[in-house]
Structure 1
Amino acid sequence: MVPVKLPRWRSALIIAFSTAVVSLALLALTASLFSHDPSLHDEPMSDADWIVTGATLVVQAIALVLRVRWPVASMLLIAVLPLGLASVQPSSAFTLTVLPIIVSVFLTGLSNTVSRLSIWALFTAVIVASGQWVNSLGAGEENMIASAFGALGQAAIVVLLPLMPAVFIASQRALSAAQRETVNALTRERDAQIGEALARERSTMARELHDIAAHHLSGISLMAGAIARQIGTDPEVARDGALQIREQSRAILDDLRRLVGLLRDDDDQGLKTLATIADLVTAVRSSGAEVELQIQAGEGTDPGRRVGPLAQLAGYRMVQESLTNALRHAPGSSCTVVIDGADPEALHLTVCNTARDSTGEAQTTRSGETHTSGSGLGILGMVERAALIGGTCEAGPDENGGWVVQMTIPRDPDRGIS
């Protein structure tokens, strides 16, 4: 059994004491009125009548404490006690016993639902009506039928009068509790959504950093290896390569600044789109790689029509990552980038590179370390980007020993055709 907290007992004791004080005060007032005006009652009350009535009121008030553990049983007990008083010592002051009953019904209604309390409220009303009827008959009432109807009416008032506001207050409390629970549930759901959004943002940032660093640093590594071989034989070419490394370094810094700017809610100037793929191809060519760009679309038609900024960024990153992988894993091979915008339903991007030639097969850095395979995060990032925009991305070897990456980006039907 769960122990009851002390504040509930303290509250019950205060209510019981207050009820006893008010009941005894009304009893004393009634006794004073009866003594000054004998016409207020049919038969005079003896001292024993007053004492027994007062004792009943005190016991009823004490029984209010029991509601902390047994609210319904306490309510029924408080209603039954006056029935015993009416059977033993009927009097004109019997009506005062309804005060503890009213308090008990009200308090019980606050802590119980209507469905659970209705049957017990009916039992309480029957007990109160029986007590009133027995007391009226014991006090000398001769018309039993009229006395019964009067007792029923008084019981209905004693039970329904406090029960209705108690039920209303209890329903308001339940409604407030349900609203609080709904708000808490919505808050938890919002926190979960925020956490999920943050996780997605972290994943996006990781892909962006991977794409930026892998692309530029791979080019810098290749150019640095070429400079190391040419610095003794062709210093002028080596100098040009060093300048290209400088440009690549600036480019990676610019991309990092753009990424940080996006995180700071700055404007989106410099955002990568399909139109900037040509600049990407030019930059890769400057590192010495052989790259061809093919754009297939109707005359005067933009291949990126009805393709949103996020989808264009995903396409750009796919081309960037594919070229980076070709430079890293197949140095010396030729690459072809195809932007196919002829399909009215989707945009198709293809990046393919031939197999490594004999010069690239065993190409090493100055330190003598051969190029190693990647972690696979680049391809995974491309697939995730495609899925994010509702497209597909596939990568694998072709029949000639090269490597092909294909991305399909669905067009947005809600965007106007440019």
Structure 2
Amino acid sequence: MATRHGSVTARSAGLATATASAGVLALVLVTFVADDETFVPDGARGPAVWAATIAVVLVQSALLVRERRRPVALVAASALPIVLAVAAPSPLFSITALPVLVHSFRAGVRVGFVRLRWWLVVAAAAVAVGQFVNTLDTGRTDHAAVAVEAVVQAIVVVGAPLLPASVVAAQRATRDAQQQVLVAATRERDARIGEAVARERAAMARELHDIAAHHLSGISLLASAVAKQVDTDPDAARRHALLIRAQSTSVLEDLRRLVGLLRSPEAVDGAIETVATVPALVDAARSAGHDVTLDVHRRSTASPAAGDGIGPLGQLAAYRMVQESLTNAARYAEGASVTVVVDDTDDTRLHVRVRNTPPSVRPNVPGGSGFGTIGMRERAVLTGGSFDAGPTDDGGWETRMSIPREPNRPEER
């Protein structure tokens, strides 16, 4: 703000200097170049009139330095020559119109015609009065003609600069409006970018939670089993150690795929998690020692694989729901049997349910944060489906997800 104010003041000072220089130059040219005696005061009054005119022009120009929204300087610069017309009338009086022209143009640019109109009337009246008094004092007696000339000169001096000033003001207003539109567009773009980043962060958080919770929970359970069996059943402990290695490898592969997805789409390999890969997920849970049953219901034996007509986002949502449910069952319902049901008999929706019986032993881990359930619900909402979870009548737990099919499935085309 201080820099802008300094630049405005310097610009105003430069304008005032240029106006004063032009006025003095015009006065010198009229005085020393013109041969017609009507333009040059004669006698002893010559130097005094010349000095008075110079002083008025300098004061009029100095008023341009003042930065004000209200055009008081315009009225002051228009009224000041009246003093000159009364004290030292001469043909040089017309030089005082030059600063008034500059004041009128500047006021038109800064204030605008609508707010300036009454100030213009006062300024024009002051110019007309000064011109009228100066002309009468120089010896003319036709008052009517002098009055008309004074009014015409006032209209020209005060009104003529308003036309280019209006053009400049309109250009400035257009530029300011464009700048505001650009600023608004930039803010909207930044807001959209922020929203997109937030969505991506939420998606990353869901993916990382699903990957870490599923695999690391299994690794933790297997490590507990190994610690118990290392002395009593070395063969079982060795098998579980191999399963821990397999789970760790799966974690690294999933993280590598996620990082590759964040870097570029081309970096992702062909390992896509869909409804068709749910059996492999169940097999992995069984290999970890969990009692898991998978029931897949299709519309007919000749129908395509389960999940046909479900989009990629819906496929991933169903897979993650089963994965998260198996992880929760293994962590919080130790020893419980789990049933995974993929119901593909509905023509419009795919229904997936995961139900576990009550745990056979009291869980020794604290309750979860709830992020897994939130993530499953968010995935269902993103696909246009629904999600629900809650306890069963026998004390177990059940999660349910319903995902709509996309239109124009292959068998409908």
Superposition TM-score tier, normalisation by shorter sequence:
0.7 to 0.9
2:188 paired with 1:194: no
Is 1:59 the counterpart of 2:53? The answer is no
AA paired with 2:93?
Answer: F
In structure 1, the partner of 2:290 is 289
Question: 2: CA distance between counterparts of 1:337 and 1:148?
Answer: 104
Equivalent of 1:348, from 342, 348, 351?
Answer: 351
Match of 2:15 in 1: 15
Amino acid at match of 1:272: E
In 2, Cα distance between equivalents of 1:41 and 1:415? 97
Distance 2:83 2:306 in 1: 97
Q: Give the whole-Å Cα distance in 2 for the aligned partners of 1:56 and 1:240.
A: 107
| C-alpha distance after superposition, 1:258-280 (max 9, x if no partner) | 11111211235323222211211
In the other structure, the counterpart of 2:392 is 398
Tell me the matched-pair count.
405
Change (3 A) 1:30 1:371: closer
2:380 to 361, 383, 386: 386
| Paired amino acid for 1:349 | V
The 3-state SS of whatever aligns with 2:160 is helix
1:326 equivalent among 329, 336, 340:
329
1:221 Cα shift?
3.0
Q: Residue by residue, what CA displacement relative to the aligned partner does 1:154-201 show, whole Å, maximum 9, x if unpaired?
A: 223222332222333233233333333333333333333333333333
Q: Structure 2 CA distance, aligned partners of 1:183 and 1:361?
A: 64
Sequence identity percentage: 46
The alpha-carbon deviation at position 145 of structure 1 amounts to 4.1
CA contact 1:340–1:347 (8 Å) conserved in 2: yes
TM-score of the superposition, structure 2-length normalised? 0.85
Bigger shift: residues 104-113 or 398-407 = 104-113
Q: What corresponds to 2:73 in structure 1? A: 74
Shift of 1:69: 4.3
Unaligned ranges ≥5, structure 1 = 364-369
Structure 2 unpaired stretches of 5+: none
Q: Pick closer, same or farther for the CA change 1:130–1:411 going to 2, 3 Å.
A: farther
Matched, 1:279 2:280: yes
Q: Does 1:176 align with 2:175?
A: yes
The answer for the alignment partner of 1:309 in structure 2 is 312
Between the aligned partners of 1:23 and 1:71, the Cα distance in structure 2 is 25
Alignment of 1:209-224 (within 5 A): 209-224=208-223
Q: Equivalents in 1 of 2:85, 2:345: separation in Å? A: 100
The SS at the match of 1:304 is coil
- Alpha-carbon deviation of 1:27? 1.6
Look up the equivalent residue of 2:392 and give its one-letter code: D
Please point out which of 347, 356, 367 is paired with 1:373.
367
The question of whether the paired residues in 1 share the 8 Å contact of 2:276 and 2:305 is answered with no
Residue 366 of structure 1 corresponds to which residue in structure 2? none
Counterpart of 1:291 in 2: which secondary structure? Answer: strand
Q: What letter is aligned with 1:329?
A: Y
Supply the distance in 1 between the matched residues of 2:124 and 2:306 (Cα, whole angstroms).
84
Separation in structure 2 between the aligned mates of residue 23 and residue 324 of structure 1, nearest angstrom: 90
1:225-264 aligned at under 5 Å gives the runs: 225-232=224-231, 234-264=233-263
* Alpha-carbon distance between aligned partners in 1 of 2:69 and 2:179, rounded to the nearest angstrom: 28
User: Residues 7, 197 of structure 1: CA spacing in aligned structure 2 closer, same or farther, 3 A cutoff?
Assistant: closer
What are the superposed Cα offsets for residues 43-87 of structure 1, whole Å, 9 maximum, x if unpaired?
96841443433332233223333x324751111011011233334
- Give the CA deviation at 1:319: 0.7
Deviates more, 1:398-407 or 1:163-172: 163-172
User: Which runs of structure 2 are paired with 1:4-153 in the superposition (5 Å)?
Assistant: 5=5, 8-34=8-34, 36-38=35-37, 46-47=45-46, 48-65=48-65, 67-69=66-68, 72-153=71-152
Determine the C-alpha separation between the residues in 1 that align with 2:386 and 2:224.
36
Given residue 263 of structure 2, which amino acid in structure 1 is its aligned partner? R
Contact 1:302–1:341 (Cα < 8 Å) also in 2 = no
> Are 1:269 and 2:263 an aligned pair?
no
Contact kept in structure 1, 2:299 and 2:346, CA below 8 Å = no
Q: Is the 8 Å Cα contact of residues 215 and 321 (structure 1) preserved in structure 2?
A: yes
8 A contact 1:303–1:342 mirrored in 2: no
Answer whether contact 1:262 1:268 (CA < 8 A) is retained. Answer: no
* Structure 1 pair 230–267 and aligned structure 2 pair: CA distance change class (3 A): closer
Instruction: Specify whether residues 14 and 215 from structure 1 end up closer, same or farther in structure 2 by C-alpha distance, changes over 3 A only.
Output: closer
Taking the aligned partners of 1:240 and 1:70, their CA distance within structure 2 comes to 87
Match of 2:154 in 1: 155
Q: Match of 2:381, SS?
A: helix
Shift of the 298–79 alpha-carbon distance from structure 1 to 2, 3 Å rule, reads same
Q: Matches of 2:241 and 2:322 in 1, distance apart?
A: 25
The answer to whether 1:335 aligns with 2:374 is: no
Whole-Å Cα distance in 1 between the matches of residues 390 and 304 of structure 2?
30
User: Cα RMSD (Å) of the superposition?
Assistant: 3.1
Relative to structure 1, is the Cα distance of residues 210 and 14 closer, same or farther in structure 2, using a 3 angstrom cutoff? closer
Q: Distance between the aligned counterparts of 1:274 and 1:377, measured in 2? A: 22
In the superposition, the TM-score normalised over structure 1's length comes to 0.84
Aligned equivalents of 2:209 and 2:135: distance in 1? 94
Q: Which residue of 1 aligns with 2:402?
A: 408
Contact 2:212 2:251 in 1 (8 A): yes
Q: CA deviation at 1:324?
A: 0.9
Q: Any conservation in 1 of the 2:31–2:40 contact (CA below 8 Å)? A: no
In structure 2, relative to structure 1, the CA distance for the partners of 1:25 and 1:302 (3 Å cut) is same
d(CA) in 1 for partners of 2:351 and 2:186? Answer: 42
